[in-house]
């Protein structure tokens, strides 16, 4: 397929809506006019790409009505493509043979805040101890505040062996210790008897894999404890 193969169906699509259409006008692939309305510009590419996106943004200096036209992308890519184009105020025309479908119009982007996602983001940031993850790394699973709480329990069980839930909660300071042990999302704990837990083999491995995270957690806890002691108590 060539870009020229997209021109005829796009032209017919616009002409059916009352536009006069011409190709290759001042570096624009397609320009359409309807009465005294602002011109519509369509940029054609055989696949969605960064150059096509940059062309569309450049054409917005001449009109707000800019469309990008290309054949159907992979199904899983389409939602992200539409989200990006809408954010930039670009329209999208998908061309399948002689059929053209307008999937987005070039409207001003009006972001809608997701309060729940923003709240969860700030909550996770506030509760996470230190900075245990290297941005972009996939070396090991991401360390969340939830995983850090579980690692606190791993550290104590490694040191003390089989321990009661109440003692684990008191030693770790993790209020949700019982739920963490019962749910055992990571398979790190094993129930010895009612209210009593030990490390599982996977938990022993986690103590090694996340040794640096555990050390950072313990350092932070010791710092918090020393900060809570009045200065005169050391005299």
CATH 3.40.1350 positions along the chain are: 4-104
What pLDDT score does 27 carry?
A: 85
What pLDDT score does 125 carry?
A: 83
By mean pLDDT, which of 26-40, 111-125, 139-153, 207-221 is the weakest? Answer: 111-125
DSSP character for 120? H
| Mean pLDDT of all residues in 65-72 | 94
pLDDT digits (tens, 9 = 90+) for 186-203: 999 999 999 899 999 999
Q: How far is CA 31 from CA 40, 53, 200, in A?
A: 6, 17, 68
Q: What is the mean pLDDT of the chain?
A: 87
pLDDT digits (tens, 9 = 90+) for 109-145: 666 777 888 888 888 888 888 877 776 666 778 889 9
pTM of the predicted model over 0.85? no
CATH code given to domain 4-104: 3.40.1350
User: 141-218: which CATH architecture?
Assistant: Orthogonal Bundle (1.10)
CATH 1.10.10.10 positions along the chain are: 141-218
């Amino acid at each position: 397929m060539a870009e020229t193969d997209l021109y005829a169906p796009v032209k017919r699509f616009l002409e059916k809506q009352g536009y006069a259409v011409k190709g290759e006008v001042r570096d624009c692939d397609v320009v359409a006019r309807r009465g005294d309305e602002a011109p519509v510009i369509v940029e054609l590419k055989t696949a969605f790409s960064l150059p096509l996106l940059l062309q569309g943004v450049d054409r917005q200096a001449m009109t707000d009505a800019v469309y990008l036209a290309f054949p159907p992308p992979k199904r899983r890519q389409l939602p992200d493509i539409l989200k990006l184009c809408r954010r930039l105020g670009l329209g999208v025309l998908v061309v399948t043979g002689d059929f053209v479908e307008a999937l987005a119009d070039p409207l001003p982007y009006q972001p809608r805040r997701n309060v729940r996602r923003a709240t969860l983001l700030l909550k996770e940031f506030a509760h996470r101890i230190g900075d245990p993850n290297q941005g972009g790394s996939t070396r090991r699973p991401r360390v969340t505040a939830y995983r850090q709480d579980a690692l606190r329990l791993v550290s104590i069980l490694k040191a003390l062996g089989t321990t009661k839930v109440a003692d684990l909660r008191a030693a770790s300071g993790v209020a949700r210790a019982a739920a963490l042990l019962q749910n055992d999302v990571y398979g790190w704990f094993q129930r010895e008897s009612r209210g009593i837990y030990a490390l599982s083999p996977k938990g022993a491995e986690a103590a090694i894999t996340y040794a640096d995270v555990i050390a950072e957690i313990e350092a932070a806890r010791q710092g918090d404890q020393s900060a809570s002691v009045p200065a005169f108590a050391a005299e």
